[in-house]
Structure 1
């Protein structure tokens, strides 16, 4: 990201530092702490996790001495220790955004309700918030962005996450005046709509990851959620519910992402989609109305046209998150945010035949997977957003395998913060679409 290093170096030279508070010290959080440890002008000063040893281990892996870590849930002690150059470990996530000596919050929990809570706390206490929590963003992101704008802080998704990587390619192409046809990503594993923690357990253990998290990748929910975030940031929409998700090679994408009358698969342009066969990586399919541009693209060996592929073959997940931290703090800019409000939604679909009285579990569980649809389709179906599901929701009537779960199908047995935020966002829908 041009200019960031110079700004961080200047901040460091002047004795300054962006003080980062991390929520969630799992795989993503560990990577973030380690990456920032090698940077100038930025430091992780506090890390919260339900299991404090996770945070301690993350700091150890980043070569933070044991003597430089202090564990506390007392905000006064935490602020004093940070001021003295120590790293704070805590089990009290809510404390971190409230600390005076923290500038930017990163939520790396992946749990929608916690992500929404951390964003609200950060905004309320004047902190920028970087969301490594796309699940929360696609559920209540437009409202959180509006609240952040009003508070004068930045609400942003993360560089390195696939939506952020796609957004960087999109802005490059859009700024240059190319016509953007499609935005997409590769899917890392075959789609298995019935994947659950049991079926994913062996592979998850082998990879050192959570079975539930891996199941959310395998059943497609993560892909649907990520492309929903891209849709709401750009105004692009899925061409069909669930997207096409074709298997293809890179060289096939320019032709594949053409209108049907041109030999492609699309009913419209400006779509989000995914491809089985090009992972890892993200892509943008572009064209131009200028013959000279086509001539130059052919000269540059970008293909025969009329569509061309821009492809980034990697995304470094939380290792790139520091760029979003820096961009928010130094430039007051988001990497990716739901500028268009909700143009797409990821809705809950029954992963098995569900009986009346049965409780829904969470994302990557046994009961539901996510499917991207347009916001208009979501409204017409009265569909339940995937980010709201949890054991506090019970079915009032049976739902067949593969059916969309609707608000009419369920009852809420208790209130959650993300549920209340969603109700508020739905009431304010018109003002949240800012473009």
Structure 2
């Protein structure tokens, strides 16, 4: 049965999938509103450090204030859910512990919060959907392994670019195409100097946190999304940071060829991004069989030998409920890391850094990220940006644009994400 049929049948039987959302920003609010339109699924619990944001997530979806219960402890949550109330809390530790919750969605965007939420969900036998790609590219392989051992699903989300690419990739791979390249569009030029101050005005107009928009503009978010694609497929960046060419969709089949064939690639099986095709995602394929070439030409897919499979949209968190349903009904992930990391998002200095100062994080003032093949990053001792926080101390002067290595900083070894990363390194 299709997911649509399964959801309809579930509701007809008087049941629904009960979902907990942690993080009530733009993405979380959209996801809850979308779920309210669906059969067989209920956004039962919303958790945010700002309780008014959590309440607004429901009221924007048409829920009356009197039908929303503010809960301070687990017992309150469990009782309110049993009474059919929509529940909000400001305690993130409770998001994965409620008795009736089936699936947890992490939309915090914080690597440290994501690591803790995922671990709590796995320990409490809840499926975990990571809208939080930042945590996934840092410790996703170990979280996926732990989830499998616990009998639950660890997954990224449909609708975000990595999930949308993975759907096309799986389609092409199942059909036996040779896959040359995968990737996403980027809708603004990269400004490596972007920070919350430089983007604040635009961010507020878009109802985004300034640091969130800054992570898009300085390129870190794109690198993180490509790393998620890489870690789920085995594809690698062709060069550090990727090529980032300018093209329309039609030009992709010529650009993503080996250099000897007139393209830009040193290797095939790569992940990249392209200016000029946003908000779409793409997969470039080829084949060794003449009959398939003939039919692809007949179907107006181009003259070959490469062809572009392109999706012109992605609906971010509005598609997350499909991932929730697939995890619940079929124990299937939309996108998840294969065994061991393939790519890393390593840390660069955004400004000159002085010995003794403390760093910040993704989308802020002092660091940004770029993609590198994991085995190269490991050989060069490069620091994953997901491990950087406000307790990370610089041990020597670092120039703007310099790649930061582990031995240049003192890390916060008390963080959950650091401990998970150590476990991941030992296992993989």
TM-score in same-fold range (> 0.5): yes
Instruction: Name 1:141's counterpart in structure 2.
Output: 140
Instruction: Name 2:427's counterpart in structure 1.
Output: 428
Instruction: Name 2:17's counterpart in structure 1.
Output: 18
Q: Are 2:342 and 1:358 equivalent residues in the alignment?
A: no
Q: State TM-score, norm by structure 2.
A: 0.99
Structure 1 Cα separation of the partners of residues 207 and 145 of structure 2 = 37
Instruction: Name 1:98's counterpart in structure 2.
Output: 97
1:248: Cα distance to partner? 1.1
Q: Check the 8 A contact 2:184/2:281 in 1, yes or no.
A: yes
1:126: Cα distance to partner? 0.4
Structure 1 Cα separation of the partners of residues 390 and 88 of structure 2 = 30
Structure 2 Cα separation of the partners of residues 354 and 178 of structure 1 = 47
Instruction: Name 1:433's counterpart in structure 2.
Output: none
Q: Are 2:293 and 1:301 equivalent residues in the alignment?
A: no
1:401: Cα distance to partner? 1.2
Q: Check the 8 A contact 1:345/1:385 in 2, yes or no.
A: yes
1:68: Cα distance to partner? 1.0
Instruction: Name 2:165's counterpart in structure 1.
Output: 166
Other structure's SS at 1:320 match: helix
Q: Check the 8 A contact 1:280/1:315 in 2, yes or no.
A: yes
1:314: Cα distance to partner? 0.4
Q: Check the 8 A contact 1:345/1:373 in 2, yes or no.
A: yes
1:414: Cα distance to partner? 5.4
1:74: Cα distance to partner? 1.8
Structure 2 Cα separation of the partners of residues 348 and 321 of structure 1 = 29
Instruction: Name 1:230's counterpart in structure 2.
Output: 229
Instruction: Name 2:68's counterpart in structure 1.
Output: 69
Instruction: Name 1:377's counterpart in structure 2.
Output: 376
Other structure's SS at 2:354 match: coil
- Which digits, 9 at most, give the CA deviation of each residue in 1:177-211, with x for residues without a partner? 11100000000110111111111112112222111
Other structure's SS at 2:420 match: helix
Other structure's SS at 2:310 match: strand
Instruction: Please give the residue correspondences for 1:328-367 in structure 2 after superposition, counting only pairs within 5 Å.
Output: 328-367=327-366
Distance 1:294 1:413, change over 3 A: closer
- Which digits, 9 at most, give the CA deviation of each residue in 1:225-254, with x for residues without a partner? 001001000000000000000111111100
1:54: Cα distance to partner? 0.4
1:412: Cα distance to partner? 2.4
Structure 1 Cα separation of the partners of residues 394 and 283 of structure 2 = 40
Instruction: Name 2:41's counterpart in structure 1.
Output: 42
Q: Check the 8 A contact 1:234/1:340 in 2, yes or no.
A: no
1:403: Cα distance to partner? 1.0
Please list every run of 5 or more consecutive structure 2 residues that lacks an aligned counterpart in the other structure: none
Structure 2 Cα separation of the partners of residues 73 and 94 of structure 1 = 11
1:388: Cα distance to partner? 0.9
- Which digits, 9 at most, give the CA deviation of each residue in 1:61-120, with x for residues without a partner? 111111110001221221111111101110111112111110100000000100110000
1:424: Cα distance to partner? 1.1
Structure 1 Cα separation of the partners of residues 152 and 39 of structure 2 = 23
Q: Check the 8 A contact 1:235/1:340 in 2, yes or no.
A: no
Distance 1:413 1:302, change over 3 A: closer
Q: Check the 8 A contact 1:350/1:369 in 2, yes or no.
A: yes
Structure 2 Cα separation of the partners of residues 248 and 302 of structure 1 = 17
1:413: Cα distance to partner? 5.0
Structure 2 Cα separation of the partners of residues 413 and 86 of structure 1 = 40
Q: State TM-score, norm by structure 1.
A: 0.97
Q: How many residues align?
A: 428
1:340: Cα distance to partner? 3.7
Structure 1 runs (4+) greater than 3 angstroms displaced = none
Q: Check the 8 A contact 1:383/1:405 in 2, yes or no.
A: yes
RMSD of aligned alpha carbons: 0.9
Instruction: Name 2:85's counterpart in structure 1.
Output: 86
Other structure's SS at 1:67 match: helix
Instruction: Name 2:176's counterpart in structure 1.
Output: 177
Q: Are 2:343 and 1:326 equivalent residues in the alignment?
A: no
Instruction: Name 2:272's counterpart in structure 1.
Output: 273
1:381: Cα distance to partner? 1.4
Structure 2 Cα separation of the partners of residues 42 and 85 of structure 1 = 13
Structure 1 Cα separation of the partners of residues 66 and 57 of structure 2 = 14
Structure 2 Cα separation of the partners of residues 224 and 422 of structure 1 = 19
Q: Which is further off, 398-407 or 154-163? A: 398-407
Q: Check the 8 A contact 1:159/1:320 in 2, yes or no.
A: yes
